[in-house]
């Protein structure tokens, strides 16, 4: 019998990528504390775990997937911008340099729990103030870690990247597929 799969997220990008994998799933957005004072690498794994555990409590027979993504530059985590000024600040920090995108994934089924951390590197070309102003005037930066979407208009800011494109979007499908396969054996 196939287990029900639940994505513990409200992210449209995660839903889109999981759907592209051909995985039938339900979606429940958990209400969890996303604050964490440790390093970004640890934070994304811990927050992904919190999301998955919150949903798994109400669906103990289901296979639950939680994920969290942070952009990190100079050891500083950039979450979702609070407002236009915060988004512009983030884009200025990223302009003309490389940054890390960390995604933590947690899969839980019953008492079995597995976590993974993925990293990708992204290099922004130098940005002009006019470009930053035009981009922050759109709706795109405001629900994305680091204030940009690689799959959107900010693609024009990217000089190059290494690692998983989907990880930069916030959901490393290759990692998730491998984790799901281990649970369904």
Catalytic residues: 68
Q: What is the 3-state secondary structure (H, E, C) of the chain?
A: CCCCEEEECCCHHHHHHHHHCCCCCEECCCCCCCCCCCCHHHHHHHHHHHHHHHHHHHCCCCEEEEEEEEEEECCEEECCCCCHHHHHHHHHHHCCCEEEEEEEEEEEECCEEEEEEEEEEEEECCCCHHHHHHHHCCCHHHHCHHHCCCCCHHHHHEEEEECCHHHHHCCCHHHHHHHHHHHCC
């Amino acid at each position: 019998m196939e287990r029900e799969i639940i994505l513990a997220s409200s992210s449209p990008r995660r839903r889109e990528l999981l759907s592209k994998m051909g995985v039938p799933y339900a979606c429940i957005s958990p209400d969890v504390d996303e604050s964490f004072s440790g390093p970004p690498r640890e934070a994304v794994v811990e927050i992904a775990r919190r999301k998955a555990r919150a949903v798994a409590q109400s669906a103990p027979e289901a296979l639950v997937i939680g994920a969290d993504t942070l952009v990190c530059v100079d050891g500083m985590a950039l979450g979702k911008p609070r407002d236009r000024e915060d988004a512009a600040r983030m884009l200025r920090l990223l302009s003309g340099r490389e940054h890390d995108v960390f995604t933590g994934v947690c899969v839980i089924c019953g008492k079995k729990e597995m976590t993974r951390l993925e990293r990708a590197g992204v290099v922004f070309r130098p940005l002009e103030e006019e470009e930053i102003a035009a981009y922050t005037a759109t709706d795109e930066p405001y629900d994305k870690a680091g204030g940009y979407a690689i799959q959107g208009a900010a693609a024009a800011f990217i000089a190059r990247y290494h690692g998983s494109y989907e990880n930069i979007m916030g959901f490393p499908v290759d990692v998730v597929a491998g984790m799901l396969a281990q649970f369904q054996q």
